Structure 1
Amino acid sequence: MSELDMDFLLGAEDDEGRGRRSRGSGRRGSRRRRRRRNRGGFIAPLLAVIILVGILGGGGYFGYQWLSGALVPDDFTGQGEGEVIIEIKDGQIAAEVAAELERQGVVASARAFTNALESAGKSSQLQPGQYTMRKRMSAAAAVARLDSTNRMVSRVTLKEGLRLSDTLAKLAEETGKPAKEFQTAARNVRALGLPRYAGNKLEGYAFPSTYDVQPKTTPADLLTSMVDRFHETADKVGLEDGAKKLGYTPGQIVIIASIIQAEAGRHEDMPKIARVIYNRLNREPEMKLEMDSTVMYALNKYGTAATHEELKTPSKYNTYMWPGLPPGPIANPGEHALEAALKPARGPWLYFVATDPNSNVTKFATTEAERQALLAEYRKNGG
């Protein structure tokens, strides 16, 4: 920089001005002092501009690297290598996930990942679960890999009407976890969140549905999820209020629903089967329910018709021998059965017979003579 330029920056005056400086006073001296102060205030920003120009212009390539490095975060390229398991926990925000990915060496920097996430429009779409990732992935590749369709899950579907013993066996088979672990978790009923009217028994409350099972999901976690799903369905169908209106407890409604589930071949027959059960329970004098399904449950057998020998079992679940409802549910009913128990069809029926085992058609009767006719039809169809 030349001496002339430096004089300008420092607010130097010409010789005449310098000669008059000691004599200056009053208004003119004040104006000169303000000018000198203004020129001094201009120095700092001007020097900053000169330095920046020097970095970008005079510094050339190194200046560009300094500036771009401050704005563009570190990032790997490609799909990465190796394998690492990343878990996104429920409630985690994107910044927390990004920090964990950087810590595990999946991405070069958390900032690169959050930038890629925002660019893809997925800032709020990270789903809890476990994912198989790679080391040294580009941020864009990591975002694509964390799609919910790539979660490490197995899916288990439990059909309506399974007994608890069958449910536990199915869970063990589908998840690969030991059956003993499920049996132990099922016995620890206090940890499962059962409703107060369940009588500390899981049977009837392991709700049938489809469940996603992650590698870290324990048998207790899964059974708790099933009970939670029961609570949700019970609220949906209005179980407690509906039971009160019918003059029963919620637990009794679940027992009735389990019988409906075990006896019905089709959803459309459920409300009529419910009506048969209520008509028998409310009849004066009360009729025994005489449901083969409860007898077979007592004997740990399967089938729709108990033999004369089987009907001799003294179990409280033998509704041919004991009046009223059995002491607990005989299966895990689904939503349709619960709704049918709460909203039975209107009608005088006291009997029902599955007249065609192949089509699952159920027919209803009011008198014993009508029932015998239905039984004849059942036998004619190979029953």
Structure 2
Amino acid sequence: MSDLDLDNLLGAEDDEGPRRRSRNSRTSRSRSRRRQRRQRRKGFAAFLLAMIIIVGVVGAGGYFGFTWIRGLTIPKDYTGQGTGEVIVTIKPGQSATEVAQTLVDQGVVASERAFVNAIGAAGKSASLQPGEYKLRKGMAAVNAIPLLDPERRLKTTLTLREGLRLSQVLEQLSTATGRPVREFQRAAKNGKELGLPAYAKGKLEGFAFPATYEVSPRTPPDELLSGMVERFDHAAEEADLVAGARRVGLTPLQVVTVASIVQAESGRYEDMPKVARVIYNRLNRTPPMLLQMDSTVMYGLGEYGIAATHEQLKSKSPYNTYARAGLPPGPIGNPGDHALEAALNPADGPWLFFVTVDPKKKITKFTDSESEFLQLVEDFNRSQDGG
């Protein structure tokens, strides 16, 4: 082979070398770009995954945060009408919050706030009345409200104090039961149905015995009133009223009438036998003295007070014992045990007068002297005038 041929051969190889290097370079750059694209795709995927995780965490936190806040603002409550039966007692003077606590304690509602909110929204917070109510366990607070309507009370306790007039008794029964007072007035006129003793002459005044009773809106008025007459019968039997009336020379009705005056005029139990003695001493005088009891005058006028005015003393009522001799035609209120006992067993003494000189302290003084009586009246008038 000649030198020329060798040079040509080597030259051919040199010419081919750059072309090969150029192709290799392009291949390398292509591979690098592919690697970069793969890395970018992996980075984007990682970023996307990270964002998904972050959004998920934030979302979950927001949900639980919302749930937590919602739990603070919306009180725990049951749903539906509840099941079973629960008797709930509302005591006198309890507020809506106190009633709510009672309902929670007995499993009726889920939370105090649920009930307070519900009854406030219904505008019935002030309508809660003492008594017993039938509810259910696990009730939605809003469903418990209608069952606490006063008309749905099972029973409530009513204490009738001694000396109340029948009109006051009927008004208190009406208030306690939610029934119209006219229903009790109508029932009070039916003495036979109430079981009044024959000597009552069909009139309930004096025989609606003062005591504590359980009353219910569902109990008929005549049943409630007849229960009071039964209590009177028991008290009369204990006091041996009929035989005792013969002993003091009066009828049983007159004894009850005396007892009602004693009840109205006495400030303290210990004064009752003395007041009864004043009544009997006046009735038994020869000639008899007028009783002159302010309480009977006020009853006949349908008014209240401890001292009748000069104008009131001019009343034409048969209960005006300043103008009419003897006892009034019937009781002026409903006496209790102590007054009945005093009417049957008056104290021994010559007294013809008494004056409650200090009504606030319930201090009554007794005398058989008219001059001393007039002085006591002056003392009373000065105390009333603030002198």
Using structure 2 for the length normalisation, give the TM-score.
0.61
- Structure 1 match to 2:262: 260
Aligned to 1:334: 336
Shift of residue 312, structure 1, vs aligned partner: 1.1
- Once residues 192 and 85 of structure 1 are traced to their aligned partners in structure 2, the CA distance between those partners, rounded to angstroms, is 34
Amino acid at match of 1:331: G
> Cα distance, 1:215 vs. partner?
4.4
Give the whole-Å Cα distance in 1 for the aligned partners of 2:362 and 2:324.
28
Q: Is the 8 A contact 1:258 1:329 kept in 2?
A: yes
Contact 2:242 2:252 (8 Å CA) reproduced: yes
**For residue 349 of structure 1, what is the aligned residue in structure 2?**
351
Mind listing any 5+ residue stretches in structure 1 that lack a counterpart? 1-79, 87-129, 136-150
Report what 2:211 is aligned to.
209
**Counterpart selection for 2:364 from 349, 362, 365:** 362
Question: Aligned runs of 1:72-111 on 2, under 5 Å?
Answer: 81-82=82-83
The code of the aligned residue for 1:254 comes to V
On the 8 A contact 1:256/1:329 being kept in 2, the answer is yes
Q: How far off is 1:382 after superposition?
A: 2.1
Deviation per CA, 1:119-163: give whole Å up to 9, x if none.
Answer: xxxxxxxxxxx984759xxxxxxxxxxxxxxx9320011100000
Give the equivalent residue in structure 2 for 1:55: none
Tell whether the 8 Å contact from 2:296 to 2:328 is kept in structure 1 after alignment: yes
Deviation at 1:381, TM superposition (A): 2.0
Distance in 2, Cα, partners of 1:336 & 1:306:
25
User: Do structure 1's residue 236 and structure 2's residue 238 form an aligned pair?
Assistant: yes
Identify the match of residue 311 of structure 2 among 287, 309, 312: 309
8 Å CA contact 2:355–2:376 kept in 1: the answer is: yes
Greater Rg over alpha carbons, structure: 2
User: Structure 1 residues 270, 354: closer, same or farther in 2, change over 3 A?
Assistant: same
Deviations, residues 96-139 of structure 1 (Å, cap 9, x unaligned): xxxxxxxxxxxxxxxxxxxxxxxxxxxxxxxxxx984759xxxx
- Please tell me whether the aligned partners of residues 357 and 381 of structure 1 are also in contact (alpha carbons under 8 angstroms): no
- Aligned partner of 1:163 in structure 2 is 165
Partner of 1:45: none
Q: In the TM superposition, what whole-angstrom CA distance separates every residue of 1:258-287 from its partner, at most 9, and x where no partner exists? A: 000111111110000000000000001100
Structure 2 residue identity aligned to 1:289: L
Cα distance in 1 for partners of 2:219, 2:86 equals 15
Structure 1 letter corresponding to 2:224: L
Decide whether the 8 Å contact of 1:298 with 1:315 is kept in 2.
yes
Q: CA RMSD in A?
A: 2.1
CA distance in 2, matches of 1:131, 1:309: 50
Report the alpha carbon displacement of residue 369 of structure 1 after superposing the two structures with TM: 0.9
Instruction: Provide the secondary structure at the position in 1 that maps to 2:384.
Output: coil
Amino acid at match of 2:299: Y
CA displacement at 1:378 relative to structure 2: 1.1
> Per-residue deviation at 1:85?
9.1
Q: 1:251 aligns with which of 250, 253, 258?
A: 253
In 2 relative to 1, CA 245–252 (structure 1 residues): closer, same or farther, beyond 3 Å? same
Aligned-residue offset at 1:226: 0.3
After TM superposition, give the deviation of residue 83 of structure 1 in Å.
5.0
Moved more, 182-191 or 273-282: 182-191
Deviation digits for residues 182-223 of structure 1 (CA, Å, limit 9, x no counterpart): 111111221000011001100000001100113431111110
Change (3 A) 1:279 1:170: same
Q: Structure 1 284/154 Cα, relative in aligned 2: closer, same or farther at 3 Å?
A: same
Letter in 1 for 2:266: A
SS state at 2:309 partner = coil
- The question of whether the paired residues in 1 share the 8 Å contact of 2:357 and 2:376 is answered with yes
- Displacement of 1:307 after TM fit? 1.2
What is the distance in 2 between the residues matched to 1:381 and 1:238? 41
Q: Assess if the C-alpha contact under 8 Å between 1:204 and 1:329 holds in 2.
A: yes
For 2:235, give the aligned amino acid: T
Q: Aligned partners of 2:184, 2:169: CA distance in 1, in Å?
A: 10
Whole-Å separation in 1 of the counterparts to 2:310 and 2:331: 23
> Any residues of structure 2 matched to 1:188-207 within 5 Å, and which?
188-207=190-209
So what's the TM-score if we normalise by structure 1?
A: 0.61
Query: Secondary structure of 1:155's match?
Result: strand
Task: Quote the residue 1:172 is aligned against.
Answer: 174
In structure 2, what is the Cα distance between the partners aligned to 1:267 and 1:152?
35
Percentage identity across aligned positions? 57
Whether the 8 Å contact between 2:295 and 2:306 is mirrored in structure 1 is yes
Q: Distance in 2 between matches of 1:379 and 1:314?
A: 25
CA distance in 2, matches of 1:133, 1:173: 23
